[in-house]
Chains A and B, each alone.
Chain A
Amino acid sequence: MELLNPDQWVEKYADYLYNYTIVRVNDHIVAQDLISETFLAGLRSKKNFKGEATERTWLISILKRKIIDYYRKINSKKGKAEVHITYRDDDAEGDWLEENAADPFDKTAEDRMENEELGLAILECLDKLNEKQATIFKKKTIENFDTEALCKEYNITPSNLWVIIHRARKSMVECLEKNWFN
């Protein structure tokens, strides 16, 4: 069996899994735990991975089960739930509960779903670039590293960096035009 490289797993899939999880559990710590559990479960059941799906799809299928389990666990504590209403100030006391509910002009769930799908589509396209291009492009574009810091970290000149960025952007445009804009 091929040797597993967990460092690469984390670099390649952690952000993808995180974006998938965070919209579903809406809690940074819980999301991290679920991802960690997913990777560990992946390691344990590596033998069952038949190579029919991509490694990413396979990890997502494990993650889905972890998320369901998480909600089951919460649900079993449901009886203990309490509702607290905090009035913003004393004058507000007696106001209708509806007035204290979420702002209807806030982002709708649908928007958030659309955003999430787009985020995953972008990360999927990133996965198709070679590793160096993908990491550098991600750091520069999504994590907003500055040019100087990146050049130092990868020991390259600014013009090298811009060539890498240019190639990555070109592939990203092509990939997104194929997978997202159509």
Chain B
Amino acid sequence: MKFFLECDKAVHVCDKSQYNEASFFEKLMLKLHILMCKLCRGHTKRNSKLTKTIKSANIKTLRPEEKQQLKTRLRQEIDKDPQS
């Protein structure tokens, strides 16, 4: 349904706003849209919850160069014993 935005456009703005990449105007249109559109309201709520959940988990990742070191180390070990 079209209220200010088409639903598929609203969904896209919602995704962008999870990464702070939606403009002020887009966010405003989204807000107006979800006032009217129940489906997108539900979707926006779940989508934002995902963002919050992932932030709160504070997941740590290894740096790319640290991963590279691990890969190199494993490679060496495999090359030592090629039949495995």
Contacts and interface: CB of A to CB of B under 8 A. Distances in A.
Interface stretch (A52-60, A65-73, A83-91, A162-170): A162-170
A142 to B, nearest CB: 5
Report whether over half of chain B's contact residues are helix, strand or loop; otherwise say mixed.
Answer: helix
Nearest to A4: B78
B60 A18 contact: yes
A6 B15 contact: no
Contacts of B61: 15, 18, 138, 142-143
What's the interface size class on B, roughly? 20 to 34
25 contacts: A6-B78, A7-B74, A10-B70, A15-B60, A32-B66, A32-B70, A36-B70, A39-B73, A43-B77, A43-B78, A43-B84, A46-B84, A119-B59, A119-B60, A122-B59, A140-B19, A141-B51, A162-B16, A166-B11, A166-B15, A169-B15, A169-B47, A169-B50, A172-B50, A176-B53
Interface of A: 1, 4, 6-7, 9-11, 14-15, 18-19, 22, 32, 35-36, 39-40, 43-44, 46, 115, 118-119, 122-123, 138, 140-143, 147, 162, 165-166, 169, 172-173, 176-177, 180
